[in-house]
């Protein structure tokens, strides 16, 4: 692959540089230019940012992870066009055989990146080890977790994150063993009390799944899992579509949780027109930017990470701050040293945005140029 150069406002770990980013093959070889403020960088035609990293993706481009077959390749291509260069394919609560089939289908894409798609870093196992009273849009197949079952699934495809309700059955006791296997445990779809959520953190849980959603509401005399996250968590997911979480709650979480990072929780409806789509076993309706079950329950989103970044900027974050929430922090959360940042030697996963509109102009994954989605 020939050496390539991108010019504009380049976001490095130390801030913006007005200059050039050079890469050859799959790696960044040099960054040249003069340090500038973000305001000055936005006077350039383009901003050059690290590729986005989405750790909670159910679908996109009309495809759902649980459909198996080519679904993961389809969703990886859809989200790559919106600047997501790495993602976790996320499962739904379902009978074990269906989860196994989904993992068997996606495992090859964890070993070999889909053509013209994002890296599939592994699996986010969202259930079935949830509280049946906090399923949200998850089908009613919640059940107790066992270490043997999770490790059996892990052998099919690498599980990087598992969401569970620590107050259920023996889930809390499993957390240290899962952490020892290199699996990040997140509290989610849970009725945990504040004390139970703190116990989960003390046992090794690393984060919270779609903070505020599918967990007990915060109350000043019963703060619950949300209160434990705000008081103690270093990391948590949040869905910044401005529908799942009010901007005021987003600001509270941004102030309280140092490594708060954005996820899309995207469904097959992402990147698609309004209509009916599959989410696991269920049919959901996408309409006016929201995705819901027939009873009106929010059921994932149509969010893409470029829009997540624009939404964060719209509520008051700088581009540099928003970029950290969609790239650097999720990379750090998974312990990825070579992505989530633009630096010499890092993977050439790059997104180029129009400096004013922040619309995607170009995407490179491992140095491969992809066709962007345009002004979605």
Element spanning 348, H or E: none
Domain boundaries of the chain, sorted by first residue:
4-49+341-370, 51-334
Cis peptide before 315 (omega within 30 of 0): no
Does the predicted model carry a pTM greater than 0.85?
yes
Catalytic residue among 241, 265, 306, 349: 265
35, 16 Cβ separation under 8 angstroms? yes
Question: In the Cβ-directed half-sphere of 15, how many Cα atoms lie within 13 Å?
Answer: 9
Q: Show pLDDT as tens, one digit a residue, over the chain (376 residues).
A: 689 999 999 999 999 999 999 999 999 999 999 999 999 999 999 999 999 999 999 999 999 999 988 999 999 999 999 999 999 999 999 999 999 999 999 999 999 999 999 999 999 999 899 999 999 989 999 999 999 999 999 999 999 999 999 999 999 999 999 999 999 999 999 999 999 999 999 999 999 999 999 999 999 999 999 999 999 999 999 999 999 999 999 999 999 999 999 999 999 999 999 999 989 888 888 988 899 998 889 989 999 999 999 999 999 999 999 999 999 999 999 999 999 999 999 999 999 999 999 999 999 999 999 988 864 4
* DSSP strands (E only) in 25-83: 27-36, 46-50, 52-57, 59-60, 63-64
121, 86 Cβ separation under 8 angstroms? yes
Among 301, 321, 314, CA closest to 247: 314
Q: Which CATH class is domain 4-49+341-370?
A: mainly beta
Which pair of structure tokens corresponds to residue 29?
A: 């070889």
**Angle at CA of residue 318, ends 314 and 324, nearest 5°:** 105
Fold designation for 51-334: TIM Barrel (3.20.20)
Please say if 265 is a catalytic residue: yes
CA–CA gap between residue 321 and residue 14 (Å, rounded): 12
CA–CA gap between residue 170 and residue 183 (Å, rounded): 17
- Measured from the Cβ of residue 112, the count of other Cβ atoms closer than 10 Å reads 8
């Amino acid at each position: 692959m020939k050496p390539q150069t991108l010019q504009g406002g380049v976001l490095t770990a130390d801030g913006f540089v007005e200059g050039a980013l050079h890469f050859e093959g799959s790696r960044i070889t040099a960054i040249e230019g003069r340090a500038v403020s973000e305001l000055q960088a936005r006077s350039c035609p383009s901003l050059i940012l690290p590729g986005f990293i989405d750790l909670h993706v159910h679908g996109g481009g009309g495809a759902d992870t649980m459909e198996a077959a080519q679904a993961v390749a389809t969703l990886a291509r859809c989200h790559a066009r919106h600047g997501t260069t790495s993602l976790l394919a996320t499962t739904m609560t379902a009978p074990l055989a269906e989860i196994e089939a989904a993992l068997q289908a996606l495992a090859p894409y964890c070993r070999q990146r889909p053509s013209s798609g994002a890296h599939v870093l592994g699996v986010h196992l969202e259930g079935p080890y949830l509280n049946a009273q906090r399923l949200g849009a998850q089908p009613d197949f919640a059940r107790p977790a066992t270490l043997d079952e999770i490790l059996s699934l892990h052998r099919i495809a690498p599980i990087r994150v598992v969401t569970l309700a620590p107050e259920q059955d023996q889930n809390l006791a499993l957390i240290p063993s899962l952490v020892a296997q290199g699996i990040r445990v997140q509290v989610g779809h849970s009725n945990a009390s504040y004390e139970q959520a703190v116990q989960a953190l003390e046992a090794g849980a690393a984060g919270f799944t779609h903070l505020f959603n599918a967990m007990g509401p915060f109350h000043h005399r019963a703060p619950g899992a949300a209160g434990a996250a705000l008081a103690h968590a270093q990391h948590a997911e949040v869905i910044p579509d401005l529908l799942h979480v009010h901007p005021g709650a987003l600001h509270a979480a941004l102030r309280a949780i140092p490594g708060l990072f954005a996820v899309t929780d995207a469904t097959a409806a992402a990147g698609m027109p309004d209509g009916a789509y599959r989410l696991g076993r269920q049919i959901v309706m996408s309409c006016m930017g929201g995705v819901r079950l027939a009873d009106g329950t929010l059921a994932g989103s149509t969010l893409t990470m470029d829009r997540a970044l624009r939404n964060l900027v719209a509520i008051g974050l700088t581009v540099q701050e928003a970029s950290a929430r969609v790239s650097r922090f999720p990379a750090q959360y998974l312990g990825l040293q070579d992505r989530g940042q633009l630096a010499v030697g890092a993977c050439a996963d790059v997104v180029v945005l129009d400096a004013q509109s922040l619309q995607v102009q170009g995407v490179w994954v491992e140095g491969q140029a992809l066709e962007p989605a345009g002004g979605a």
